[in-house]
Amino acid sequence: MLCKDKDIIPNKKILSYFFYHPATNKYKEGCPKIWNFQKFSLHLHSKNSKRYKNNCIKSTPVNYNHSSRRAIVIGASSGIGREVARLLMTEGWTVGVAARRTELLSQLGAAAVEPIDVTKEEATEHLQALIQRLGGMDLFFYASGIGKQNRELKEDIELATLQTNGVGFTRMIGEAYRYFAAQGSGHIAAITSIAGTKGLGPAPSYSATKAMQNVYLQALEQQANARGLRIHFTDIRPGFVDTALLDGDYRYPMMLKPDQVAKQIVKAINHHRHIQVIDWKYRILTALWRRIPRCLWRRIRI
């Protein structure tokens, strides 16, 4: 079926049209006559309609699932990572999962499973093996991390946090970035934290590494744009989430449920959000934190 004047607004319930756009080498939905491409306006509205009619094709009803898209979730054995992996599979994504505890991954029913310890140098090799078994990667979702309160500044806690949240994060995000750079496109989404907003005395290395993660993603986003790479980034900053990460004697305020957080994360990924603070209460809180001057912040007891 060809695009004609009466087909300017097709009935989406019945069919959809796709027009081949030569600049992007892709098919775009809709009739070309309603688009306002400056470079192609003369071509689209010219009397020589045969040229674009041949490129306008009738398709089957639009299926808004992601069955042809492949996602890898690092840190999917529990908590937010596990919930996000489940939601992605529900939406039709082909999902590969990885974590240190592979016995918990087998219960997810993912397309591929790989044991990965992000603190080990061979972690990147395992990621490449997982990508190969999955048949490629379009979304890299990173949910691995540790954090503990350390009011007495114990050395082992500080260094372990740096190793996982600093070195491990850089290792895995960097490998995903290089893969997408070679592929030409991709999407990197990572869980950081609102803890990166300010230095938090009860958890020095945790808040410091989360700030590092925020800035690292920002730097890679700028680099990707400078290199002309079509790599999207989503920095996900949740507040306190009721997971094993926060198990302990201290009771945290405004606790969030992992399943609700995961829904907001998947929504942010689908909308290609750059930064997503979860939820609205923490968006207000972090906005207030940023406005507190350093001379007052250091006197606040948390």
Is residue 216 a contact partner of residue 193, using CB atoms and an 8 Å limit? no
Q: Which domains does the chain have, with CATH numbers?
A: 5-58 (no CATH), 70-297 (3.40.50.720)
> What is the SS3 assignment for 208-231?
HHHHHHHHHHHHHHHHHHHCCCEE
pLDDT tens, per residue, the chain with 302 residues: 334 333 333 333 333 334 444 444 444 444 433 333 333 333 433 334 443 334 433 333 333 344 579 999 999 998 899 999 999 999 999 999 999 988 889 888 899 999 999 999 999 999 999 999 999 999 999 999 998 889 999 999 999 999 999 999 999 999 999 999 999 999 999 999 999 999 999 889 999 999 999 999 999 999 999 999 999 999 999 988 765 555 555 566 667 888 889 999 999 999 999 999 988 998 999 999 999 999 999 998 87
What was the pLDDT predicted at 302? 78
pLDDT attached to residue 19: 40
Q: Are 29 and 62 in contact (CB under 8 A)?
A: yes
Distance, CA of 144 to CA of 186 (rounded, Å): 20
Question: How far is the C-alpha of 220 from the C-alpha of 233, rounded, in Å?
Answer: 8
Q: Is the peptide bond before 5 cis (omega within 30 degrees of 0)?
A: no
CB atoms within 10 A of CB 189: 26
pLDDT recorded at residue 79: 86
Per-residue pLDDT at 252: 60
Cα separation, 162 vs 210, whole angstroms: 10
b/e for 140-174, b at 16 or more Cβ within 10 A? bbbbbbbbbbbeeeeeebbeebbbbbbebbebbbe
pTM of the model: 0.75
- Tell me, what amino acid is at 285? L
In this prediction, residue 102 carries a pLDDT of 83
DSSP state of 241: B
- So what's the pLDDT on residue 255? 73
Q: What's the confidence (pLDDT) of residue 159?
A: 97
Find the farthest-apart pair of alpha carbons in the chain and give their distance in angstroms, rounded.
77
Question: What pLDDT does residue 247 have?
Answer: 52
The pLDDT score that the predictor gives to residue 104 is 85
Structure token digits, residue 290: 């940023």
**CA-to-CA distance for 247 and 259, rounded, in angstroms?**
17
Q: Exposed, middle or buried by CB within 10 Å (0-12, 13-18, 19+), for 180?
A: buried
Structure tokens that stand for 18 in this block: 């796709």
pLDDT of residue 45: 38
Cβ contact 285:194 at 8 Å? yes
